[in-house]
Amino acid sequence: MALTVIPLVLSAACTSATPPEPAGQADMAAYLTQELDWGSCTDTATNAADAELFANPALECASVEVPLDYDAPAGERARIALTRLPARGEAEGSLLINPGGPGGSGTSFVASFLPQWQNGPVAERFDIVGFDPRGIGASTPALDCYTDEEYDAGDVPRFGAVYDITSAEQAVDHAQRCIEGSGGVENLVNAGSANVVRDMDIMREVLGDERLTFLGYSYGSEIGAMYLAAHPDKVRAVVLDSAVGPDWTPSELRLAQFTASQARFDEVAALCARSPDCVLGPDPAAANERLHEIVAPLVGTPVPTADGRDVSVWDVYLGITAGLAAEAHWPTLISALTALDAGRAEEILALRDGFYSRTADGVYTTDIDTNIAVRCMDWPRLTPEEQTAHAREVANVAPMFGIDLLTAGTHHSECEAWPAPPTRDVPWLPADLEGLPEALVVSLTGDPATPYPGGVSMARTLGASLLTVDGKQHGAYLLGGSACVDDAVNAYLLDLETPPTDARCSL
Residues tagged active-site: 218, 447, 474
Report whether 337 contacts 279 (CB < 8 A).
Answer: yes
State the DSSP H helix or E strand holding residue 65, giving kind and residue range, or none if neither: strand 60-67
Q: How far apart are CA 134 and CA 138, in angstroms?
A: 9
For the chain, the C-alpha Rg in angstroms (whole number) is: 22
Residue 141: how many CA atoms within 13 Å on its side-chain side?
A: 23
Alpha carbon 366 to its chain's center: 9
On whether the CB atoms of residues 212 and 234 are closer than 8 A, the answer is yes
In our burial notation (b when 16+ CB lie closer than 10 A, e otherwise), range 158-197 reads bbbbbbbbbeeebbeebbebbbebbeeebbbbbbbbbbbb
CB proximity list for 297: less than 8 A, separation 6 or greater: 303
Write the secondary structure of 380-446 as one string of H (helix), E (strand) and C (coil): CCCCHHHHHHHHHHHHHHCHHHCCHHHHCCCCCCCCCCCCCCCCCCCCCCCCCCCCCCCCEEEEECC
Residue 6, CA distances (Å) to 91, 98, 459, 480 in order? 28, 12, 22, 11
Cβ neighbourhood burial of 431 (10 Å; 0-12, 13-18, 19+): exposed
∠ CA 447-428-440 to the nearest 5 degrees?
50
Within a 13 Å sphere around the CA of 446, how many CA atoms are in the beta-carbon half?
Answer: 19
Between CA 297 and CA 304, with CA 300 as vertex, the angle to 5 degrees is: 70
Residue type, 396: N
Question: Residue ranges of the alpha helices (H) in 207-312?
Answer: 219-230, 250-273, 287-300
